[in-house]
Structures are given as C-alpha cells and as structure tokens.
Amino acid sequence: MTRFGLLRTAIFAAALVPAAALVYDFLTNDLTANPIDYITDTTGYTAITLLMITLTVTPLRRLTGLNEVIKLRRMLGLLAFFYACLHFSTWLVLDWFFDFTSMAADVVERPFITMGMATFVLLIPLAATSTTGMIRRLGKRWLQLHRLVYVAGLTAVIHFWWVVKADFREPRLFALALSILLGFRAWWTLRTRLSSRS
C-alpha cells in the first residue's frame, strides 16, 4: 500500500471508532443511564465533526498545494453522511419508534429538529451523486449541486446551537470553524471575480 493509501485507511478506521465505541458500550452495558440520548448525542457530534473535516479538505489543498488530499474528500463526506444516517435512525427508531405523527409535529414545530432534518435531507442528494459515474454524468452541474454542502454545514451548526441549553462553548467552536472554512471560499470567489473584471 502506498503511504497515501495507508493514511486513507487510517483516517477511515479512525472515523469508525465512535461507532465501534457505541457498539462496545452497548455490549458492556455502559451507554449511561439514558442510552438513547447518549447515542443521539454521539452520532450527531461525530456527524457534524466529520462534516467540518470534509469542508476542510479543499482549503487545505489550496493552502498547502497537497493535491492528493482531495482524494479524501468523498470518503470523509460519506462518513459524515453515515453518522448522519445513524443519528437520524436513532431519532426515528429509538427515540420515537416510528411515531410519525409526533415526529412530523416535531419537524414543523421545533426549529432545531427542522434544522437537523434539513441537514439530513440536503446530504442525501450529495451522497447519492458521489459515485465517479455520477460525477462524470453530471459534469458542471455536479459542482453546482455539491455547493449544497455549505448550506448543510450551516444548518448543522444551527441545529447544534439550538439544541444546547446553556453551555454554548462547543456550538460556538463549530460556528467559528464553519465561518473560517466558508470565509476562505468566499474570499477566493471574490478575488477571482475581481481579477477577472479588471
């Protein structure tokens, strides 16, 4: 395996640790006194963390010139989606046990659930069009479609912010990270526009 392949595998394995830890905690009966909340928090936290890491790839590539890192982007994005699926399933199955009436009411009436749902829905077409075939078929539109990930990052951070009761240290950190990551892109876009005009 190449050194890059090794790095890729290591990142993949590391990203699966939170899920494996949940399985281990389940088997050893160590999911706290409130397992459903614990699973919800852990999967959600991992999903948003991986989403932010995914958004770091492009700026990292431009800043360092390490073009190879771009090959990590799809894997990281899909891992984020994997945890988003776990997070959503926990809510659907463990939290509400398919009580669709209550869940629908929650999505409409609870802004933080609305934001979480929006994030999940936004991520679905991105995951679905992540294959090489899809990238080729969609061409330029693929790039446009995948800008949705910026919106998903934003709704994810708002979702986290609104679910917290009083300790905003972590949501604030994610908001800051997202501002920096989107700030790079805004700055680069602006610069390109300005230079093409002159």
Structure tokens at 150: 């910026």
For other proteins, the closer of residues 101 and 132 by Cβ is 101
Structure tokens at 145: 């479609």
User: To the nearest whole angstrom, how small is the minimum distance from the Cβ of residue 124 to other proteins?
Assistant: 25
> What's the one-letter identity of residue 8?
R
What is the chain's length?
198
From 51-59, 90-98, 119-127, 183-191, span contacting other proteins (CB under 8 A): 90-98
Does residue 23 interact with other proteins by CB under 8 A?
no
Q: Which of residues 55-84 bind other proteins (CB under 8 A)?
A: none
User: To the nearest whole angstrom, how small is the minimum distance from the Cβ of residue 164 to other proteins?
Assistant: 9
Beta-sheet strands, E only, within 133-189: none
Neighbours of 57 (CB within 10 A): 19
Q: Which of residues 157-196 bind other proteins (CB under 8 A)?
A: 162-163, 165-167, 169
Q: Is 19 exposed, middle or buried (0-12, 13-18, 19+ CB in 10 A)?
A: middle
Q: Which residues bind other proteins (CB under 8 A)?
A: 28-30, 32-34, 36-37, 94-97, 102, 105-106, 109-112, 162-163, 165-167, 169
